[in-house]
A and B are shown apart, each in its own frame.
Chain A
Amino acid sequence: MTIEPEAVVIGASAGALEALSAILPALPAGFRMPVLVVVHVPPDRRSALAELFRAKCKLPVEEAEDKQPITGGTIYFAPPAYHLLVEVDRTVSLSSDEPVLFSRPSIDVLFETAADAYGPALIAIVLTGANQDGARGLKAVVEAGGTAVVQEPATAFASAMPEAAILMCPSANVMSLGAITQYLKEV
Chain B
Amino acid sequence: MTEMLASEKIEDIEIRLLLEALFLKYHYDFRSYAMASIKRRLKQAREQLGFTTFSAMQESLLRDPDMLPQMLRFLTVQVSEMFRDPSYFKAIREKVVPHLRTYPSIKVWIAGCSGGEELYSLVILFREEGLEERTLFYATDINPEALKTAEAGIFALDRLQLFTENHRRSGGKSSLSDYYQAAYGKVTFDKTLRRNVVFADHSLVTDAVFAEMHLISCRNVLIYFDRDLQDRALGLFKDSLARKGFLGLGAKESLRFSRHAGAFEDFVREEKLYQRRGD
Question: Hey, which bits of chain A sit against chain B, CB under 8 A?
Answer: 65-67, 79, 81-82, 85-88, 93-98, 109, 112-113, 116-117, 119-120, 143-145
| Docked complex Cα distance between A119 and B7 (Å) | 12
Q: Does B8 contact A (CB under 8 A)?
A: yes
Of B20-28, B35-43, B123-131, the stretch lying at the interface with chain A is B35-43
Which 9 pairs, one residue from A and one from B, show the smallest C-beta to C-beta distance? A85-B36, A93-B34, A113-B36, A96-B220, A95-B37, A145-B1, A66-B223, A94-B223, A87-B36
Q: Does B250 contact A (CB under 8 A)?
A: yes
Q: Decide: A82 and B252 in contact? CB cutoff 8 A.
A: yes
List of A residues within 8 angstroms of B34 by Cβ: 67, 85, 87, 93, 95
Contact of B37 among A65, A81, A97, A143 (CB under 8 A): A97
Q: Decide: B40 and A112 in contact? CB cutoff 8 A.
A: yes
Contact of A144 among B4, B39, B223, B226 (CB under 8 A): B4
Q: Decide: A67 and B230 in contact? CB cutoff 8 A.
A: yes
List of B residues within 8 angstroms of A79 by Cβ: 251-252
Known: A66-B253, A144-B4, A144-B8. A96 touches B36 (CB 8 A): no
Q: Decide: A65 and B8 in contact? CB cutoff 8 A.
A: no
Contact of B254 among A65, A82, A95, A145 (CB under 8 A): A65
List of B residues within 8 angstroms of A98 by Cβ: 79
Q: Decide: A119 and B5 in contact? CB cutoff 8 A.
A: yes
Q: In the complex, which residue of chain A has the Cβ closest to the Cβ of B1?
A: A145
Contact of B223 among A86, A96, A119, A143 (CB under 8 A): A96
A–B complex contacts, Cβ < 8 Å, 16 sampled: A65-B254, A67-B34, A67-B227, A82-B223, A85-B37, A88-B35, A93-B36, A93-B37, A93-B224, A96-B80, A96-B220, A97-B78, A98-B79, A113-B40, A119-B5, A145-B1
| Docked complex Cα distance between A88 and B36 (Å) | 8
| Docked complex Cα distance between A117 and B35 (Å) | 11
| Docked complex Cα distance between A119 and B252 (Å) | 28
Given A109-B40, A113-B39, 11 other A-B residues pairs in contact with their CB atoms under 8 A = A67-B226, A67-B227, A67-B230, A94-B252, A95-B37, A96-B78, A96-B220, A97-B40, A98-B79, A119-B5, A119-B8
Q: Decide: B223 and A95 in contact? CB cutoff 8 A.
A: yes
Q: Does B257 contact A (CB under 8 A)?
A: yes
Contact of B252 among A66, A87, A109, A117 (CB under 8 A): A66
List of B residues within 8 angstroms of A86 by Cβ: 36
List of B residues within 8 angstroms of A117 by Cβ: 36
List of B residues within 8 angstroms of A97 by Cβ: 37, 40-41, 78
List of A residues within 8 angstroms of B36 by Cβ: 85-88, 93, 113, 116-117
Q: Decide: B223 and A93 in contact? CB cutoff 8 A.
A: yes
Known: A95-B223, A96-B78, A96-B220. A87 touches B35 (CB 8 A): yes
Q: How far is the CB of A89 from chain B (nearest CB, A)?
A: 9
Q: How far is the CB of B122 from chain A (nearest CB, A)?
A: 18
List of A residues within 8 angstroms of B253 by Cβ: 66
| Docked complex Cα distance between A97 and B227 (Å) | 19
| Docked complex Cα distance between A81 and B79 (Å) | 12
